[in-house]
């Protein structure tokens, strides 16, 4: 199946976004991977998702984004899979992954901006979500 025809469910869409942010700097760090697993295991939005499917779902995302136009196609598939009411939730999950390791490299910031634009999250809303993620992951 080519990426243009691919459809996924909302759970996979949320996982794809988290994987994309984690992989945006070409390195999926342990704190980010743990945060993805924790989110899927603990957050109510993932109720009903089989945790054992997480590795396969992450691999599906990696395959989908790998072609030259894979990022744009994958973002289109994600947007189609998410009801509008969950797009801010999706952006919040993406921000949590970016903040999980305490660093925000330029590549992750660009990925978050691209996700924000493609999902249609307003700038002011995005800024509030970003600030909340920063506050949640602050360390002493």
In the chain, % of residues over pLDDT 70: 96
Count of domains forming the chain: 1
**7-11, 126-130, 134-138: the lowest-pLDDT one:** 134-138
Tokens of 98: 């970016």
* CATH code (residue 69): 1.10.3680.10
Nearest CA to 71 out of 109, 36, 19, 35 is that of 19
Does residue 87 fall inside a structural domain? Answer: yes
Is 111 a domain residue? Answer: yes
Task: Please indicate, yes or no, if residue 3 is contained in any of the structural domains.
Answer: no
Higher-scoring residue by pLDDT: 76, 139? 76
108 in any annotated domain: yes
Range of the domain at 93: 10-136
Indicate whether 1 belongs to any domain. Answer: no
Written as six digits, the tokens of 80 are 């189609």
Q: Answer whether residue 5 is part of any domain.
A: no
Could you tell me if 99 and 18 are in contact, meaning their C-beta atoms sit under 8 angstroms apart?
A: no
Domain assignment present for 41: yes
Please give the DSSP secondary-structure letter assigned to residue 100.
T
Q: What secondary structure letter does DSSP report for 137?
A: T
Distance CA 122, CA 61 (A): 25
Task: Tell if the pTM clears 0.75, that is, is over it.
Answer: yes
Q: What is the mean pLDDT of the chain?
A: 91
């Amino acid at each position: 199946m080519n990426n243009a025809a691919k459809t996924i469910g909302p759970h996979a869409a949320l996982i794809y976004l988290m994987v994309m942010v984690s992989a945006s700097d070409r390195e999926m760090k342990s704190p980010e991977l743990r945060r993805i697993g924790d989110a899927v295991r603990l957050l109510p939005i993932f109720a009903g998702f089989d945790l054992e499917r997480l590795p396969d779902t992450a691999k599906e995302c990696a395959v989908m984004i790998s072609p030259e136009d894979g990022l744009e196609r994958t973002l289109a598939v994600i947007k189609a899979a998410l009801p509008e009411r969950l797009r801010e939730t999706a952006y919040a999950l993406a921000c949590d992954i970016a903040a999980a390791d305490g660093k925000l490299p330029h590549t992750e910031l660009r990925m978050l901006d691209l996700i924000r634009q493609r999902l249609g999250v307003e700038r002011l809303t995005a800024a509030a979500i970003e600030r909340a993620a920063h506050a949640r992951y602050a360390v002493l």
